[in-house]
Structures are given as C-alpha cells and as structure tokens.
Chain A
C-alpha cells in the first residue's frame, strides 16, 4: 500500500470510526466478551460434574481460596476419579494420553480480565462470594461461557454495595465509633485492582 493510499484509507476509517463511536452503545461494548463460548480441547461438562454430580468447585479449582488465580486442575486431578470411571471414553483417553506423553492440555481461557486489572480469588471466596456471582450458573453449562460482562462497572457495583460505611453529601466516609476495620469490606480505591 502506498503512503497515499494509506492516507486515504486512514482518513476514511477514522471517519467511520468516529461515527461508530458516536453510537455510544457500540463503544461501551468494545472488549466485552460476554457470551464467549469457545470450543475446548476436551468436551468437559460443568453441568455433569458440578451440577448433576455435585462436585465442589474447590475440588478442582483448588487455588480459589488460597491464591489470586483459581487454577485449572492438573490432568492427574482428573484421573483421581477417571482411573475408574469411564476410562474408555475417547475424551478421557485424551487425558490419559496427556499424562502418558507428559504433554499438558491447553484449555482455552474464557473468563479473562485485562492485564492491568488484578483480581484475587481467595479474598472473594473466603468472603463468601458465590462463584456464580461472576461466573454465572456454571453448574448448568455443558460448555463454559462467559456469563458476566466482567467489566469494571460490575466489579465496582458490587464493591460499593459491600461497603458498610456511611457517606456524607460529598461522598466521603463518615468516621464513627462503630466503623471498625472489620466492617469496612470492599474498597473502591483504584489501586486495589490497578497496580
């Protein structure tokens, strides 16, 4: 592409871009992956495991109450049960093969936050926030899909409602004798997530 063509194209695209941006809704949904439901390397069903069989989330996602990340179970974790159950199924065979070849399974990430947002699972799990609050009704999903927008708006809305502090007319916290550290729960400081 010559520089001239590049100029023309860029001008056009800038114009189109400006019009698109004018339409506020389009802009706000930029980067919103709600409903993202990629095909996974193994046909794993959360409905079957978490829903029908009532296996606790933390059995597989064992980092969720300890770490920033919930963690994806290692192939060996699957085999804790599948050594006996359905071991001839072609899907389970994929796991067996992964272990035999020492080649990890590459899952596709569904619920993904931008790199500049830092989220800690353990704090939310221990504070008794239900997994479903952000991840949706996982126990009904055959294939996992992103239920929430995972936008900053959804985080902040929840953090605001979990803050047991009276605010004055300017929006600053009112210091009172009762307001102990324990009552102050979710912070809305930017640096809580962005650092």
Chain B
C-alpha cells in the first residue's frame, strides 16, 4: 500500500499537523509579483498598526507559594518514567511548568546520563492529544460515573469468582506493583501479566533455570575488561542503555591519566549502535551467531575443564567460516585470560541462548563481579508465557475482566488479531492508557492516567536502589494516576501519594539508620530523588529462604526464589555488593551465596544447534528497537520521530535494512519498496542499504506504523510486530522464514546525512591503544602557527571553549534532543528533512570505514565551533553574526535579514535557516518552550550558541554572589545529558579548567585545521583497542 497516494495523504496530514509551514509555502500558486505587492502592503500595515503595542496583562498570584519566585527555575529530583530503566532526573520547572529534564548526577545507576526518550517526555506532557477525561464506550464521561459502573461490574465478578486479569507494561515501581497486587487480591482468581512488545523475558527465564532467580541480573559493564556481546544493543535500547553506556564509558575513559581500555567484541548481523562502537565487530548471520555462541561456550567449557564439556560434543561448529571460528577462539582466549573481569551478554530473547550465556559467565566466574543476581534488576519483568496464557484464556472466553495499564497489545502483540478477537470475548475491558490508542479504542472504559511528570511514583531499578518520582505540575487534564484508579476500585479512598508515603514508611524507612524521624527521611529522599539502602537489606530482600513463596508478591517476575536445587554444581561465593557502586556500603550480614544450579544444558544445546542448522544460508529477519522510538509507545512525539537514527540517519520512518551486496543481488536501491512475507503476514516498506550489515540479514525497526497514536505518530512507517513469533517460551524477534519481493513503488527516505565515508579526509583521527600508551608523538601544536589577516581577539574575562572526546562518544544522540528541548529548536517534518532543512543545532556525523578487512564506524558530534577567525562573521552584511568579548560567535536574531551568506561560508555547515514560521498552533504545546531562549521567526539564521543563556545565568549568579565562576559550573545542555561525558565545556582563560587541560591532551586535534578558523571546539582522537594490543600492557 505504500504508493505515491499514501505520501500525498501524509503531506496533507502534515498540513493539518503541528509542523505545517505557514500560509505561504514555496508550492503556493501565487505569482511572484502579487506576492511582493502583498508583502509591501503587509509591511506597511504592520508599521502603521504597530504604533501601539497590544495591551499585555500581568496576572499576579492571589497567594504566592512560599518556595517559588517568578522567573527563577525550581529544580526537582525525580525519576524518569519514559521506560522502566528509571534513570534519575532533575526536572527544571519555570513558572510552574516543567520545561526540561536533565540527568541526576547523584543517581547510582544512570549517573547523570539521560537518553533521548527522557528528553522527549516534556513534549509528551504538553501533547494536546492525550486523553482529557475518562471515556465510557468512547463517549466522554465523568470519573464518578465511570468508577461507579466499573465497581459495580467488579463486584459482580467478585461474587461469581470470575477471572480478573491485569495486563501492564513492566514497571520498576515496587509501590505500584504492590497496588496491583492488593487490587487483584480482592478476587478469587486475579493475576498480573507483565507484557512488553519487545521482551527480554528470556534472561529472567534463563536465570530461573540456572540460578533459581527469576529476574534479570545487575550488570556492571565498568568492571568488565573484556565484553563480548551477541547482538545485545546495550548502548542503544537494551534494558537500561544510559546506565550501561555510563558504565561502559567508565571502562574506556582516557581523559584521566589512565591508559587502559576495556575490550569490546560484538557478534551481530545487523549494524547496531553497540556494534558500531566495538573494538572488533564480527559480522555474522543469525545462524552463525548461534553457532558462535555455542562454540564460545564449548571453548570456555573446555578451558575450565567443566563437567559439561561433553555436552558440546554434538554441536556443528564446523559450519562456521574459518574467519569466524578464529574470532570466536580469540574471544574465548581473551575472556579466559580475564575471567572474573569479563562479561558476555546476548540480546536474543531466547532462553537457550541466555542459558548458554549464563553458563559462560558462570564458568568464567563473572557472577558477583561483572554481573550479579544477589541484587537483581527490576527494570524488565515481562513474562511472555503469561501473555500467551492470557491469550488462550481470553479466546476461550474465560476472562471476566481485563484491565490494561500502559500496554498496547492491539498494536504491538505479534498476533494482534488474536488479541482483538480475545478481547471481544472479555466481559469488562478497562484501559488506563494515556491515549486513545489501538487498544484503548477497543475497550469499554478508558480511565486516562496522568503523564509521568504529573504523577507520584517510585522505582527500584536494582535491588537496594530506591528512587522517587514527584509531580512537577498539576494535572493539565482530568486524568488520574493509574494506581489511584486501582485504589478506587479496591474501595480504598486514599490518594496514591498517601499509599506511596505509607509504604516507604513501612518498608524502606526501617532499612536505613541515618534518619530517626520518618518526615526527615522522606524530605531528604524526596530532595535527593534517590536513595541507596545498605547492603544488609539486599540480603533480606533477595535472601534465599527456602520457603519464600510468591505469596506476598504474586506478580510474575518479582524476586521469586525457589528452593535451591539439591546439588549445586558450582558454588560461587559472591562478594555480594562490596565492590558495587550501586550498592556500596559494607555488608553487615553477608549475602547468601547464589548457587549455580546443575542445569542440564544438553537439551538446550541440541535445540539451539538445530535452530542454527535451520537458519543456515537463509535470509534472516531481525526486528530491533530504535534508540528514540523504542517499542513505539511514544510515537506521537515529533522530537523522537525527527531524531535521526544514529546509524542510518533516517528520520520519520522505518525501513528494511539490507546489505549492499544483497541489494545488488536483488537489484534494489534506497527507497525501493519491498514486500516481505512470512506465512500469510505481509508488510511493504522501503529498503535502506545499510553498510556493514550481513548479507543474509534484513533488519526492520519496530515501533512504527501506529494507527491510533495521534496526529503526529499515525501512519509513520510500517508496523513490523506481526513478523514476530512466540517460540520456546518467549517472543522471538528473528525468523528465517521470510521472503522478499521487489515492488514497483519507490519512496524518498528523509535522510540527514548522505555522504557516508571519510574518503581519506582527516576529519576523524584514530589511534590504537598502543600509540596512546607509548605517547602519541605527533601533536597538533607542532605545526607552525598559521598567518592570519585578522587581529587576534583579546579576552579579559572568559573565553568559552569545548572539547569533544570521540573516544567516549557512542553516537547515542541524547545530546541532540537535550539541545532541542533547551533551545526551542523547531521540528520541520519529513518533507522538509528530505529537502535537508532540518533544524537540529547539533548533528552527529557518522562515517563508515573499512581497512584491512575490518569494518568500523566513527561518530563525530558537530555544532557551531565558535571560531576565532569565523568565516561567517566576515560575510554578514548586517552584522547579525559578530564576535563576543568571550569568544562566542553571536547570532543576533533581530538583526538577521536572512541572506544566508554565513551558512554558505561556514565550512562546518552548522548554521540552520528558518525557512518557515514553525508555528505552534496548540497553546498547550507552547508551554514546552524555554522562556530564556528566543523563539526564532521565519527568515532568520540560527545555530548553536554554546547555551549562552546558561552562561549568562551563571555569570549573573556568580556576580550577584560576588565570586568567580567555578570550573564546571556551566554545563551546556548537550554536555549535561551525555552519558559518557564526552563533551567538556569551560573557560579557556582559566588555566586550571578541565577543558584547558584536555586541550593539551596529546589526542587533541582540530577539525579542518588547515582553514585556520581557530575554532573553540576541538576533538580528542578516537582510540580502538585493536587486536594484539593487550589492555594489560600498562
């Protein structure tokens, strides 16, 4: 169905949507002369009419809140509700409205990093398409009526003993799960099903079998010297990407004196963000990936002389190409050499694969060191088997009531038809989703929940790490916290806040000893946003009491412990969390050792081997999550839709990624629409030729093709969930049964980068670790100072500068959205991106490289470099871009007449022109704007300002307090959110500043140095831990 017609429809939708151009579009039919005349009229009319500005009102408070001064931002520590990873946030509230989220540096897991999804939440809060009141059979209703009707029906069910099912997205909030459990306990047969479109249930299921812990372990990528990942996109969208990115970069930080790098080997078929950052990326097909995992397990078992090595006798590793065999062997050697400080992860949602991974980690002695199950993570708790059981019950007409919280299976369940059929047979159907989405449209009652920025909540992302989420604005619409809805229907009239506070008083307050009074404890926890309780509670929480039944927490995936198996094969005395950053503090009661159960791997190995054999030589489909849109729940967010994918650089779409060789074989080109069929499921979507992808792989992102997301998200891309499957107890996102067919249709993808290679240009410098360790001899300062016709600038107070560490940057694009939120950067829409008119002030250039048969990807964030000899400044005819006394290259919007000479003359191509008046017709959406940054109008040039509003604010603050600005006091928006701390900003006049020191690092270089622009931004060279150079060499 993807034909030209469809695109026309989308264009029309754009015109009704939020980012339409204003009345005069370049496609208008008005003759130029008439246009000029009318413009003259308009100008004159404006001049005459503008003699007196319109009357403006100042509306003062009736009673001013105590903690609040108009014009001064308040910051609240909270917890991100974008995904169950629950990173720590600081919410900036100006004049009563949250306008920006930043990472909370004191959060023990995310440590200040904040991803693109979190930044998008601000836009989501002011989305006028959120439901504004409860609905009863799609008609607006009052809360009283809805409550009354639902309660009446639930009472009937209670009496008849019917099945009540609560289907929710995974939540890391213990109080919310408690509320769900209390609600379900009213019924004779109540059950909580945790479901997510893209599941990681296999990890928990595998740990249930291998460690008697039905939960995901806590990973410590920072402690791993060797990381081997089998298509786990842990820097992109896997479980808790910000936490992992932060930890990963900590093990690879060269900014300090340290000269060590962890080594990262990735086996994968599609090119993921994580794979693109690997020191060594082994391109394998899906079948080869399975074989490689088997073989790695075999090598490790042999090295350890484990009892299980015989189980591997029957595997067919000889299928592997010699090159891959060799890579696996080398990986095994490196892992073995660093046993106890290595980590193997797999992104496959397959219990057999995860059991093999557990076996490898166990044999290497990594448990208790680089990953632990004594403390588990609650960031993902979905259970795919429960969901399938629910489908069966629903279709058999057994379910009396289904309550849906934040789940949308009508869209993201692989067999949504089955879900819809089953739903029709459910007696009472209630949705608590915030939108009238695909699922909510089919239910009896929709009781919209608050946005996460409006609601109280808590989270326990890892055992012992508790955080609070607090409302930062009064609810905009007549919504209600979803937990409160459940409380009402449990005949509990309390506010959820009271429940939350009560539970903290009861459960968490006794675990600490710092505060004697609960009120003080509560205030301090709320102030900090996060609390790490001492390890002794870890012990009590996850203790191995043999009789711990799931009685208190019947939820599928809480830390349910089963009686330890009779004969633990390996008993690893875990040092519990003494070394863990998240769970610091000395252990008072030593945590019980977690036993590795004598898991019979042979069946799993055989099954896995057969599956690999089945896939050999076939085209394999891989479904994946993109970093911005993830599972598609936030599809109605234009910031996320327009964020370029870090690898493909495509916006506003999903597509079938195929390798260049496959494209050539099938005679396909970029944008050619193909028909993909699996059984009777067929989808049509355009092709994107992805370099460095395996030839037997077709990769498609999920999260697109929403039909009821809202005006923005509807019809963007194609829904690829139907190509998923359920097999071996979990949802599968890979399949070998796929056929691809070329169609006649072709579309133009909205790309932000079209040139993909460096072509020998020295834009990105790369070094090997050995060169860094030895001392990189060739320094930038050795070149003779270039002659300039300009006079030097004199700096008395400050000279702002920045260093970007390319070795730290993973390309995750969190900075991009942070900048967009801070600086009121408009969204332009798909059509304008196709014309290369995107407005992002910061872009991340991605280049593919290949040398000596080793393929690599490099990223380079580029924004205005605030040049000393700025080429833009010398060509502006109206002095709209001039140099400041602090080294900034100022862009004065009110002077700019839009000649665009500056953009033309900028070698970095970082200037952006407002081709249109990007209106915000929805007054609610305007509340997301930052009042400290001018909203630019049409015909004006703009670019990165180094967040000058933050500089000015800090300068004023320092002067008001009669002190100097401290180094690190000013953080640009991009810098603040960077999970790898790749961006360092500061004052170059201050010789002690961090940025100044990094500028003297031997890795420092200047982009396009030969032009002698003397930019204030310089880069630190990328360093790879290439083979032969052992990290232990230092």
Contacts and interface: CB of A to CB of B under 8 A. Distances in A.
B50 A30 contact: yes
Given A6-B38, A123-B960, A173-B794, A104 B884 contact: no
A103 B63 CA distance: 10
A7 B952 CA distance: 47
Interface in A72-89: 72-77
B901 to A, nearest CB: 18
A106 B53 contact: no
Nearest to B792: A172
A13 interface: yes
Given A6-B38, A31-B50, A66-B69, A17 B44 contact: yes
Contacts of B853: none
A6 B45 CA distance: 12
B934 interface: yes
- A114, A181, A188 — most chain B CB neighbours (10 Å): A181
Chain B binding site: helix, strand, loop or mixed by DSSP? loop
Contacts of B882: 190
A191 interface: yes
Interface residues of A, number: 66
Contacts of A7: 34, 37-38
A67 B952 CA distance: 13
Contacts of A187: 885
A98 B895 CA distance: 43
A126 B57 CA distance: 27
Interface string A164-188: 0100001011110001010010011
A14 interface: yes
A123 B882 CA distance: 24
A165 B796 contact: yes
B892 interface: yes
Contact of A72 (B45, B58, B893): B58
A52 interface: no
B607 interface: no
A63 B71 contact: yes
B57 A190 contact: no
A175 B794 contact: yes
Interface in A103-149: 103-109, 112, 114-116, 118, 120, 122-123, 126-127
A76 B64 contact: yes
A157 interface: no
A192 B952 contact: yes
Select the residue from B59, B71, B935, B964 with max chain A CB neighbours within 10 A. Answer: B71
B794 A38 contact: no
Interface string B874-899: 00000000101110101011110000
Contacts, number: 176
B62 A195 contact: no
A108 B71 contact: no
Contacts of B44: 10, 13-14, 16-17
A90 interface: no
Contacts of A11: 37, 40-41
Given A7-B34, A10-B44, A190-B890, A112 B69 contact: no
A188 B70 CA distance: 26
Interface in B752-809: 791, 793-794, 796-797
Contacts of A108: 55-58
Nearest to A192: B952
Contacts of A195: 932-934, 945, 948-949, 952
B43 A181 contact: no
B960 A69 contact: no
Contacts of B34: 3, 7
Given A165-B796, A189-B884, A194 B892 contact: yes
A189 B15 CA distance: 40
B959 A123 contact: yes
A33 B53 contact: yes
B40 A10 contact: yes
Contacts of B38: 6-7, 10
A43 B227 CA distance: 73
A69 B70 contact: yes
Given A72-B58, A112-B53, A191 B47 contact: no
B796 A67 contact: no
A99 B796 contact: no
A99 B62 contact: yes
Interface string A17-33: 10011000000001101
Contacts of A179: 796
Given A115-B934, A118-B932, A103 B794 contact: no
Given A126-B960, A194-B893, A75 B59 contact: no
Contact of A67 (B53, B69, B959): B69
A14 B40 contact: yes
Contacts of B51: 30-31
B776 to A, nearest CB: 34
A162 interface: no
Contacts of A170: 791
A155 interface: no
A172 B932 contact: no
A189 B886 contact: yes
B69 A107 contact: no
A96 B48 CA distance: 41
B716 to A, nearest CB: 33
Given A71-B60, A123-B959, 10 more contacts: A13-B45, A17-B47, A69-B70, A99-B63, A104-B60, A106-B59, A107-B57, A118-B952, A127-B959, A175-B796
What are the 7 A-B residue pairs with the smallest beta carbon separation, nearest first? A10-B41, A17-B44, A67-B71, A74-B61, A69-B71, A68-B71, A74-B64
8 contacts: A13-B48, A21-B47, A63-B72, A75-B62, A104-B62, A108-B58, A109-B55, A195-B932
Interface of A: 3, 6-7, 9-11, 13-14, 16-17, 20-21, 30-31, 33, 38, 62-63, 66-69, 71-77, 98-99, 102-109, 112, 114-116, 118, 120, 122-123, 126-127, 165, 170, 172-175, 179, 181, 184, 187-192, 194-195
